[in-house]
Chains A and B, each alone.
Chain A
Amino acid sequence: MSSPLSRDEVAKVAKLARLRITDAELEQFTEQLGQILEHANDMTSLNLAEVEPTGHPFGLINVMREDEVRPSLDRDAVLSQAPDAFEGRFGVPRIMGEAP
């Protein structure tokens, strides 16, 4: 059975997700993800012409909150969880490129 997904595609997805995977894992995930896609493809065998697209299982819309300030977290508590902090800010490895 030919996989609906190529190794290159899985490698690309892994790269986009910043996942480092071995060749063996690449093989394994290509097969596993392929099976999931196969399953999704089963849907196409059904006639769904009369079925409305569903964005949410209960059809909820406009779930919103009032624009009221609520307490934020304590900064020291927040920064104590960070690997590195300096002058009230999170320290991160130097960013070479610009943000998209």
Chain B
Amino acid sequence: MTLPNGWEMVVGLEVHSELKTATKMFCGCANSFGSEPNTNVCPVCLGLPGSLPVLNQMAVELAMAIGVALHCTIAPSTFHRKNYFYPDMPKDFQISQYDLPINSRGYLDLPDGTQVSVERAHLEEDTGKSTHLGGSGRIHGADHSLVDYNRSGVPLVEIVSGPDIRSSAQARAYASELRGILIATGASDGRMEEGSMRIDANVSVRKAGAPFGTRCEIKNLNSLRSLQRAIDYEALRQTEVLDEGGTIRQETRHWDENRGETSTMRTKEEAEDYRYFREPDLVELDPDQAWQDRVRAALPPMPAARRARLEGLVSDLSDAQRDAIGTVVELDLDHFVIAASEAKADVSVALARSANEIAAGIEHVDKLSVENFVTTVAMEQKGELSATQAKKVLGVLLESGGDPGAIAKSLGFEQLGEGALGELVATCIEENPSEWARYREGDEKLSQFFIGLIMKLTKGQANGKAVIAELQRRK
């Protein structure tokens, strides 16, 4: 979207990512989504008096992995108490990192070649979850909220970008690439719908080259699509207010996905006073170089490197194939394409089948072995299966596993082996001598005539390329 009247949007994102640890940040309660309410709680995460936090080493390690992946500086850091009152936070303060975060000053390269700076990526703990009861007819009416503290104390990394983003599409690309990195590092499962990755967007507008305008923070962005829509809505709203001579108040706004608009949540007329002070129960965190080096060495390839590797396998890469590679890397299907390439099978076919057919059946991907995938691609390449048939075979493999040859046979695709196809082609030639003569004299269009006949005979199951090969062979 382009803003009217020479306005430019300025966007910075704050991404909260829950870390995939076994336990919470400061206690040994399980960090698991979807447990029965209040079953993973103890004196520490319930904020009971006298309890003491002890830092989870794995949370630190995952935060460092994120820092390394985002090219941050890892530095000695401390923990602070951020004091405020809200029922989902039983201690009445959140332990977070304040002036000295573990990771600072990094950046993220986007697939389109732009770069977004990362100001910091710090550790903090998550809050509990409250459910607001509405309506009537329940024992507890609208005057109560219910709180589950299973999430209280789950480790989080908050990644704060610089105000470098200039379009909603770029914001989405940043969030998407960051999500890929969080998943690749093993730090997060990146599930926005479960809230394990949450995004707040700071949006302001200005005339090109002018100082930054007043920003609004948008919350409740539960998907990449919401993120993009909300930023466009908010930037346009601000330009309309300003064009009519109004002013933007610094405030927090709530995105309503159904209505497609943002609305005021609370005004930040004076900065919140969180009375930050050092958490006296936690000591300084100062990962030594050896530990940092171990984390760096253990870091698997990031999405950008993986895309580059796959792109190197395809000659004359098209835009569609570039997109397909993005999908393959996002869904962690690289090994299918790489195995096909190593087996000298057609990489373009392997890429298309991975990005489409495997992606469509991604929930069953465990049933599809790399060997069976490569075999199916090879069968398609050899003309033993048409593209349509290969897709069906993959569908069955994903649904219930099995042997590609046997599946092809059970689906009645067997007669399309080279021999059977050859016989069909021979019959068609015999029955249509004049068309065959014209084809032999160089009228290539007639190949379509023969393909049409074969398709009719095989109910669309034949492979067009294989038919042409048979015709050429008999010329």
Question: Contact mask A48-70 → B, CB, 8 Å, 1/0?
Answer: 00000001100011111111111
CB-defined contacts of A64 to chain B, threshold 8 Å: 54-57, 60
Option from B58, B89, B265, B284 in Cβ contact (under 8 Å) with A98? B265
- B45 to A: closest C-beta gap in Å: 9
- B13-40 contacts to A (CB < 8 Å): 21-23, 27-30, 36-40
User: Is A88 touching B38 in the complex (CB atoms < 8 A)?
Assistant: yes
Question: Are A72 and B87 in touch, CB under 8 angstroms?
Answer: no
B273 in contact with A89 (CB, 8 Å): no
Chain A interface residue number, banded: 35 or more
Knowing A70-B23, A70-B29, A78-B46 are in contact, say whether A65-B57 is a contact too (CB < 8 A): yes
Which bucket holds chain B's interface residue count?
Answer: 35 or more
Task: Verify if B300 is at the interface (C-beta below 8 Å from A).
Answer: no
Closest CB-CB distance, B272 to chain A, in whole Å? 6
Which DSSP category, helix, strand, loop or mixed, fits chain A's interface? loop
- Tally of A-B Cβ pairs under 8 angstroms: 142
Assess the A72–B41 pair: CB atoms within 8 A: yes
When the two chains form their complex, are residues B39 and A75 in contact, meaning their CB atoms are under 8 A apart? yes
Shortest Cβ gap from A39 to chain B (Å): 18
Contact of A72 among B29, B55, B60 (CB under 8 A): B29
Q: Contact at A62–B23, with CB atoms within 8 Å?
A: no
CB of A65 within 8 A of CB of B144, answer: no
| A72 in contact with B148 given A16-B83, A67-B58 (CB within 8 Å) | no
Among B126-134, B308-316, B372-380, B391-399, the one that faces the other chain is B126-134
Are A94 and B145 neighbours in the complex by a CB distance under 8 Å?
yes
Task: Indicate whether A99 sits within 8 Å of B86 (C-beta atoms), given known contacts A55-B284, A65-B55, A90-B147.
Answer: yes
Q: Which of B36, B89, B146 contacts A86 (CB 8 A)?
A: B146
B285 CB-CB contact with A under 8 Å? yes
25 contacts between A and B (CB under 8 A): A16-B275, A55-B283, A56-B284, A63-B282, A64-B54, A64-B57, A64-B60, A65-B54, A67-B58, A69-B29, A70-B27, A78-B41, A78-B46, A86-B144, A87-B146, A88-B38, A88-B39, A90-B146, A90-B148, A93-B143, A95-B86, A97-B266, A98-B219, A98-B254, A98-B266
A residues neighboring B (CB under 8 Å):
12, 16, 18, 55-56, 60-73, 75, 78-79, 84, 86-95, 97-100
Q: A67-B21, A68-B23, A91-B140 are in contact. List 13 more A-B contacts (CB 8 A).
A: A18-B85, A61-B76, A61-B286, A64-B54, A64-B60, A67-B59, A72-B41, A75-B39, A88-B36, A88-B148, A92-B145, A99-B86, A99-B89
